[in-house]
Amino acid sequence: MCLIRHSQARFNMIKVAVIGSNSFSGAHFIDLLLNSGQNEVIGISRSAEKEPLFLPYKRHKNPSFAFYRADLNRNLRKVSRILEKFKPDYIVNFAGLIEVSSSWQYPEQYFQTNTVAIVALINSLKNAFYLKRYVHISTPEVYGSCRNVLENASYNPSTPYAVSKAATDMYLLALIRQTNFPAILIRSTNVYGPGQQLFRIIPKTIISLKQGSKIPLEGGGKAIKSYLNIKDVCRGIFLAMEKGKNGKIYHFSPEAGGKKVKQIVEVICLLMGYDFRKATRTVKERPGQDKIYVINSNLARKTLNWQPSIRLEDGIKEVIDWVEINWNKIQNMTLRYQHKF
């Protein structure tokens, strides 16, 4: 059912369907699309729209946007009908189960959602004459522990989540080779920003500090990650969507190498005036944790003229401000991942 709709369609607008619109990245990408005023957008998600706290696109007044609730796992036909009626120029798919640690507990659900359902969706789009490009949001976790890898690197996934994503990527790349299906793949490093799920390390650290709770560092926080602001990621996805070349994989990552998780927590403690040693505790490393997570994004920089624009410290300050402004609501919310299937 359509919940929000612009009063009149504009024929000169680019039409974009965002699947997984309730996700952190999906919601920010919609915000970017609506910001130009030149895109007609629909969002599709398995759950009802979240509150505006987590949906930055809600700031737009009278946007050319419609939301549809539909579950790829349980009602692909409904999703297909929505897409067939809208006939988007572009489909950008953020949908999927994403919490790595829980994939060990529910591997069959991760394969059903991240592989079977997505493959079925892609298969339903093979004859969609209206579609200029399908943009598939993947993950560098398909490479396993990696340092400065290129887009053609071999897969070496180390968790059920990563395997489920790699399987879909391999199917999509095979389809592109055999049928010229108009698609590209996106792999970006660890995204962060205002509105992120509260169980993620940056918002979780900020909230824990404000609540006086110690921050658990898995394995002492020694794993190396590459943190990239969500606005920079969304700009990259948009550039790839419009200017990318079908069949290509695009990486998005920060200029410098990665940082240890504990270094990110140290930065937050410094910005908020807390003692890192007193504010943290070491806990057991999660199974399949990749030791290092750094990818090469030169292709996107050279061919899409993309590069990050937001310094890590500035981006973290923005998340701190978001938490402060919304503290009355956030302080009563759980910091634990809530598994849904």
What pLDDT score does 337 carry? 87
Q: What is the per-residue pLDDT across 20-67, written as a single tens digit (0 to 9) for each?
A: 999 999 999 999 999 988 999 999 999 999 999 999 999 998 779 999
28, 56 contact by CB (below 8 A): yes
What pLDDT score does 256 carry? 76
Sheet holding 133-137, edge to edge: 65-69, 39-45, 14-19, 90-93, 133-137, 183-188, 249-252
Range(s) for CATH 3.90.25.10 in the chain? 199-225+256-293+310-330
Q: What is the mean pLDDT of the chain?
A: 93
| Residue 170 clears pLDDT 60, i.e. is over it | yes
Confidence of residue 2 (pLDDT cuts 50, 70, 90): very low
**Percentage of the chain with pLDDT > 90?**
86
Q: What is the per-residue pLDDT across 214-229, written as a single tens digit (0 to 9) for each?
A: 999 999 999 899 999 9
Domain 199-225+256-293+310-330 -> CATH class: alpha beta
pTM, to two decimals: 0.94
Confidence of residue 10 (pLDDT cuts 50, 70, 90): low
* CATH 3.40.50.720 for the 14-191+227-252 domain, yes or no: yes
Range(s) for CATH 3.40.50.720 in the chain? 14-191+227-252
